[in-house]
Every structure is written in C-alpha cells, then in structure tokens.
Amino acid sequence: MKKNNPALFNTILLVISAAIFIASVVLLISSYQSNQEYEKESRITPSPTIAPPTIMAKPTEALLRVGSISKDVKTLQGKLKELGYYQGEIDGQFGGGTKDAVTLFQQQHGLTADGLAGASTLDMLYGPGAHTIQVTPIPSPPAIQAADIPLLVNRSHPLKDGYVPMSLVALADTLTEGLAVLKDPQEKGVDAAVQALNDMLSAAHQDGLTLWQVSEGYRTWDEQRMLFNNEKQKLLTGEGTQQLLTESAAEIEAEKNVARPGTSEHQAGLAFDITVPERSFPSTDQARWLREHCWDYGFILRYPAGKEDVTGFQAEPWHIRYVGKDISRYLKQTGLVLEEYLETLNP
Ligand SMILES: [Zn+2]
C-alpha cells in the first residue's frame, strides 16, 4: 500500500475550511437583516396600554333618543354591542335599531322599557350592574317515535278512504258527570283524547269555570259528506247570493267553511269543538282559559289567528286537537302550528 499524498490532503482541508467560512458569513448577514426588520417592526407597532379604550367612557349627554346624532350615541352603540344588545353599525345615529337595543337592555335590567337612553339607563349601562344579553333558548323538538307522530289531516293530507279511528269511546261514558253539556249525547272520541279532555275540563272547573259544552267530536264519513253537501247546496240554490255558481265553484266556496269528506280532523276522532251553551264563544272567559291552558293537557288550538294561510282555515278558537303533551307544550312554546312542526321533522 502506498503512503497518503500530503499535497492532496492539504488541498481538501483548505476547501473544507473555505466552505465553513462562507457559510458563517452568510448566516451572520441574514441574522443581521432579520434584526433590522424586527427593529423596524417594533417601531411601528404601538405598545399596549392598560387604560380602557375611550369608546367605553359614559356619554355626557343626559338623554339620547331616536334622532340623536352624536359621539355619545356612538359610545352608547359600542357598549350595547359589546353586551350583545345591538347588532347594527356603530355610526353615531340613534335610529330604530338602537332604540330596540336600548329597550331590550331596559327590559333585562328592570328599567322602564321606553327606548330612551336617559340618566337611569345610562347609569345602569355603564355601571357594574350591566350584564350581557340573556337569550331565551329555543327549545328543541321533543324526541318522538315514528308511531307517535301526530296524524296530519288537512286538504292536502286527507284520511285514507274509509278510515275509522280505533278505540272510540262515548263521551257520556267517559267524562266525569257534570263537566260539560254534550250537544250530541252520543258524541264519541278516541279514548286518549277523551281522557285528556276529562283532565282539562276538571282543571277548568277547579279554576272556577264550570260552564262548558262539547259541540262536536268524532264525525263519520257520512256525517262529513252530509255537512259538506248541505253547505254546497246552500250555495248552489243561491240563497243570499246574487249569481249562480257552477258545481265545482260551489265546492270550492263550501270548503271555506266545511271540510271536504276525508279532510276534517273530526273524522280522526282527535278533535273537539268546545263552546259555552247559548254564548258566542270567542269572547268568553272559557275561550281565554282554553287558549292558555289546553296545551298542558295535550291539546293544541289547531287553527289560530294569524296562521290562516298555513292551516287553510279561518281562526277557530273553539277547535282543539289532541296531539299529546310533549308536542302540545312544544307548539305552545314555539308558536308553530301542526303543519309547521311536521315540516321541521321532515324538511
Ligand atoms: Zn272543529
């Protein structure tokens, strides 16, 4: 074996040393540059201060109201926004949105809810007692089994031809005596619904309302057909009407007051018309009681005012429909009608 060549060894050593030197220089330069950048950056970034931003200082003006335009309104809007009452722009203009926010704040702080930001409102808003908005949570729909989904009966969801509900019972046999006058002594309903009716009317009696009548319960196909035809006939013979109607026009007209056979809830045995003998029901104390309490017994006011275009019916404060307590309470809380509720289950 030959001995190592000392000249070659020296050359390699020289090359390695040179490489290390160049790398060090490059590193040094780049670190100097980033230091420079950091210094530049720190010069233009303001350092944080402990003092609160001036926007939260209390306005000096004594009364801010719709129409006010000022820096104080801006401050007010900023504070209301911070607490969650105001969603609009902080533009210093006191408009409807600001008024609503002030009103909401007042309601949640025991103040007179007039939408005027006067001394007491401003004191509360900028004082230690101000709290963030409290939002009433929207309840989630009750968990129900497929079999418990309430039957929807309306114009677009008629009952199956010949449908007869199971477990019909006579009200006369089931209701506690003296709870209500039965317009038809043979009146029937589905067992669970009649039991609920019994509970409800008993509670009403305990609340001091003792005069009740059940004007309608279960209706057979024949009864519904007869009611509908009578209504149609009335229109066709022109009693009280100027022009004569065609058969189908008369049916469309009749349907505004009487459901077509197969589309009445009464045919399902789950609905009752509750009235007071000899009285126009809507203005009675009983109507008010029903509107407030029927939900606690599994009933809903099926055709409320304001939902005519959803239900397809004029308001009927006497018509209650059994759906079970979970759903009735949920519908009371949310203000939904049956069609809307079923839509949320199956959008
Ligand atoms: Zn009815």
347 C-alpha to center of ligand 1: Å?
A: 28
235 C-alpha to center of ligand 1: Å?
A: 21
Q: Does residue 74 sit in helix, strand or coil?
A: helix
142 C-alpha to center of ligand 1: Å?
A: 26
Domains and CATH numbers, the chain: 54-126 (1.10.101.10), 148-219+264-345 (3.30.1380.10)
Neighbours of ion ligand 1 (CB under 5 A): 273, 319
Q: For residue 271, which of 161, 153, 180, 186 has the smallest C-alpha distance?
A: 153
Positions in the chain whose pLDDT score sits under 50: 1-3, 52-54
Q: What is the pLDDT at residue 1?
A: 44
Pairing of β 188-190 and β 181-182: unpaired
Residues across the chain: 347
288 C-alpha to center of ligand 1: Å?
A: 17
Which stretches of the chain are assigned E, i.e. beta strand? 168-170, 181-182, 188-190, 213-216, 271-275, 299-301, 319-322
pLDDT tens readout for residues 293-317: 999 999 999 999 999 999 988 899 9
pLDDT tens readout for residues 201-248: 999 999 999 999 999 999 999 999 999 999 999 888 866 665 678 889
344 C-alpha to center of ligand 1: Å?
A: 25
pTM over 0.75: no
Distances (CA, A) of 307 to 92, 138, 157, 335, 337: 39, 20, 18, 10, 8
Q: What is the pLDDT at residue 312?
A: 86
Is 316 part of the annotated catalytic residue set?
A: yes
Please report, as a single letter, which amino acid is at residue 160: K
Sheet holding 181-182, edge to edge: 181-182, 213-216, 271-275, 319-322, 299-301
- Spot the catalytic one: 316, 339, 340, 343: 316
How far, rounded to the nearest angstrom, does the alpha carbon of residue 28 sit from its chain's CA centroid? 66
164 C-alpha to center of ligand 1: Å?
A: 17
Please report, as a single letter, which amino acid is at residue 293: H
> To the nearest 5 percent, what fractions of the chain are helix, strand and coil?
45, 10, 45
